[in-house]
Chains A and B, each alone.
Chain A
Amino acid sequence: AQSVTQLDSQVPVFEEAPVELRCNYSSSVSVYLFWYVQYPNQGLQLLLKYLSGSTLVKGINGFEAEFNKSQTSFHLRKPSVHISDTAEYFCAVTRLTNTGNQFYFGTGTSLTVIP
């Protein structure tokens, strides 16, 4: 079985400061990792994903994440946040095979950017 742990439920950060949202996963098999952003009363928007290849993945809106297999982590980072980045962020894992293709989500991290 796969699972995702987002270590911080709430992260306040000042505008233009850097931010890191932490995500750890557990799985006995190879998995694919995703970060989604959800703005208030809206759906899930894909920020970035790791399927294979380079462990540093760049996404939209200036976000990036690094896959670390030895630490089973996929932390999300942005060097300088904007007010518009205030949202809920979900880390998710899946196997993307015909026998294991549902997504398992973390409990989310609420990012609040302070002016």
Chain B
Amino acid sequence: AAGVIQSPRHLIKEKRETATLKCYPIPRHDTVYWYQQGPGQDPQFLISFYEKMQSDKGSIPDRFSAQQFSDYHSELNMSSLELGDSALYFCASSRRDRANEIYGYTFGSGTRLTVV
């Protein structure tokens, strides 16, 4: 079965550079979520999109932005990177049925960002 695809798998950037992470949800999933997991930490929710609109916002820094495109893939844009941004970034996707219940919540394998 198709899973949530994240690219790239690994990314190394220097301080103050920008990075773009991509997430391709499971087909027919309409919602995308982004999580950040720092070294030795639990995953923390950043932001989510439903039908290309921001639906929920967590602890996402102002230097980060994200969007969901017409094909439902999402991109997380990170600017002015700091050493503390080094983390594993997970994307998850789900779909909402007619009763607004959430189904099929699935995590991707993550993108490991290292800022040097």
- Using a CB–CB cutoff of 8 Å, the interface residues on chain A facing chain B are 36, 41-44, 46, 90, 94, 96-98, 101-108
Of the listed stretches B18-26, B65-73, B102-110, chain A binds B102-110
B positions within 8 Å CB-CB of A = 31, 33, 35, 41-45, 48, 50, 55-56, 58, 88, 90, 92, 94, 96, 100-102, 105-110, 112
Contact B110 A43 (CB under 8 A): yes
Check A105–B33 contact: CB distance below 8 A: no
Task: Describe A's contact surface by its main secondary structure.
Answer: loop
Q: Inside 8 A of B48's CB, which chain A residues have their CB?
A: 101-102
Instruction: Check if B96 sits within 8 Å of A98, measured CB to CB.
Output: yes
Q: Are B90 and A43 in contact (CB under 8 A)?
A: yes
Write 16 A-B pairs (CB below 8 A) sorted by A numbering: A42-B110, A43-B90, A43-B108, A43-B109, A44-B43, A44-B90, A90-B42, A90-B43, A94-B102, A96-B105, A101-B56, A102-B33, A102-B48, A103-B35, A103-B92, A103-B105
Number of A-B contacts (CB under 8 A): 57
Question: Looking at the complex, which one of B33, B42, B94, B96 makes contact with A107 (CB distance below 8 Å)?
Answer: B42
Taking the closest CB of chain A, its distance from the CB of B64, in whole angstroms, is 16
- Give CA–CA (A40, B11) in the complex, Å: 17
Q: CB-CB < 8 A to B112: which residues of A?
A: 41
